[in-house]
Amino acid sequence: MYAIMGVTGHVGGAAARELLRRGEPVRAVVRDPAKGADWAAAGARVAVADFGHRETLAEALRGCAGAFVLLPTDVAAADPDAAHRAMADTIAGAVRESQVPHVVVLSSIGADLADGTGPIRWLHHLENALRAAGTQVTAVRSGHFQEKVELLLGAVLDAGLYPVFAESADVPTPMIATRDIGGVVADLLRTPAHASEVVDLDGPIYTERQVAEELSAVLGRPLQVVTIARPGWAAAMVDGGLPPQLAEELVGLYDAEQRGILQLRGDRHLTGRTELPETLRHLAKSISTI
């Protein structure tokens, strides 16, 4: 049995679907029992647990051969640094208490660095807390998700703008589809290495301008690319609805990216193959059904 946290999200959902497709037993961990019904219908066992509650989370992981864990962003946290470190500690505490022997953690490129990376430093903290929990840890350090365009959809749909938080929209950047990450997670759960390891993961390469062009094509409407220089980043994110503290954290992340300190430094490297247009077509379909 494999426990999948964040099963109603991108990567957890993709991992669980892939495991079920291969006939593997899945325990789908949800915080809202109503969201478990579809997973039960798909053949999964369902466990209800919040990532902020160690005992119920430990119960959800207990008895499993492996677990997928992630650190979701708590947009509402008044103190994002304290809140995400606390959630990471709770997850690691649940892993320790459950004695699950192998954990695949969704981490990020740059998580080898302790600081200066914005929210990625919480993933550094989570990776280390899991290693200290006495289980075998496979850290999947992903680059940009192709689905990150979802965060820009407000500006895209309301104003026909595609904002780019960088000096240039023409920097080639690897971007991976979350379905590919889920596939890798499923593989790693089924066939773990002999010891803890770090797996770097990236995908096909695009510039932000190419992303805007592909998005414009699937939505069937023109989009204007607008680059936002560093002094305007925080204000633009707050205008887009993010709380100021979280906006400052993301400024730290984009800064780290511009300084080139986010590099692949894992034990091995895998590349997803799904191309961006396919991901965007799925996204456009989900918009049209809203």
Instruction: Name the site residues for ligand NAP (rule: CB under 6 A).
Output: 6-12, 31-32, 35, 50-52, 70-73, 106, 108, 123, 142, 144-145, 148, 178
Determine how β-strand 136-142 pairs with β-strand 45-48.
unpaired
Tokens of 24: 């593997």
Nearest residue to the partner ligand NAP, using Cβ:
9
| Nearest distance in Å: CB 8, ligand NAP | 3
| Nearest distance in Å: CB 208, ligand NAP | 13
Question: Helix or strand or coil: residue 64?
Answer: coil
Nearer to ligand NAP, 49 or 219 (CB): 49
| Nearest distance in Å: CB 142, ligand NAP | 4
User: Of 58, 59, 60, 67, whose CA–CA distance to 46 is shortest?
Assistant: 60
| Nearest distance in Å: CB 229, ligand NAP | 21
| Nearest distance in Å: CB 58, ligand NAP | 14
Nearer to ligand NAP, 133 or 152 (CB): 152
Q: How is 126-160 classified by DSSP, letter by letter?
A: HHHHHHTTTSEEEEEEE-EEGGGGGGGHHHHHHHS
Determine how β-strand 66-69 pairs with β-strand 268-271.
unpaired
Nearer to ligand NAP, 231 or 257 (CB): 257
Nearer to ligand NAP, 123 or 211 (CB): 123
Is-contact 252 237, C-beta < 8 A?
Answer: no
